[in-house]
Structures are given as C-alpha cells and as structure tokens.
Amino acid sequence: MKVFTAGAVKTAIARIDVDPAGLPCTAELWLSRDGVTKHATSGQVNFTSTGAQEDISLSVTMPAGGYLYSVYLDIYIAGGLVGAYQGTDDIAIPTASNPEVVW
C-alpha cells in the first residue's frame, strides 16, 4: 500500500509491451474507490508501440483524502480497449485531525 496526500501529483511508470510496433496506443491510469468511478485519472496518454517493453509515464493528482483507492490501468489500441488491469497495491490517502494531547 502506498500512502500519499490529497492534491499531490504523482507519476506512475507503467511498463507496457505492445506488439507489433507502430500501433497508435493510449494508456490511462485511474484511481477508484468502487472500481467504477474514476476519482482521479491521468487522462489518456498517447504512445506508439515499439514491439518491446517500454515505460509510459502517467501522472495523477491524488484525489480526496480519507479513502483507499484501487489503481487501474487501461490500454487502448486504435481506440479499442485491449487491456484492463488492476494494480496490486492500493493507494491510501489519509486524513488526520489535529491531535489533542492530555497528560
């Protein structure tokens, strides 16, 4: 589990291998509490397949605090969804109240 703060911009590196080379591709990384709603997204990031493993940078602004978010990655080729993945690590964006100390 990763812990981030709300509003922080974090860049994920998605290691993607699409064959053959030369295809117009897009990747979108998104965070969701329910697996449906995109509470934060990198938007669709274009890249062209190389036929080999390549690292795609996907930046996401961390959404509201107080929740756990699952991480999803969608891969499109020529506009068609060809891969939908869920990250193994969730993201926690905690909130904490101001503490009161009593001795």
Pairing of strands 91-93, 2-3: parallel
Q: Enumerate residues 6+ apart whose C-beta is below 8 A from 30.
A: 38, 39, 40, 41, 42, 60, 71, 72, 73, 74
Binding-site member from 43, 51, 66, 83 for other proteins (CB under 8 A)? 66
Q: Is 34 in the site for other proteins (CB under 8 A)?
A: no
Rounded to a whole number of angstroms, the minimum distance from the CB of residue 70 to other proteins is 13
Of 18-26, 49-57, 61-69, 74-82, which segment contacts other proteins by CB under 8 A?
A: 61-69
Q: Is 3 in the site for other proteins (CB under 8 A)?
A: yes
Binding-site member from 9, 52, 78, 101 for other proteins (CB under 8 A)? 101
Residue 92 CA to residue 2 CA, distance in Å, equals 6
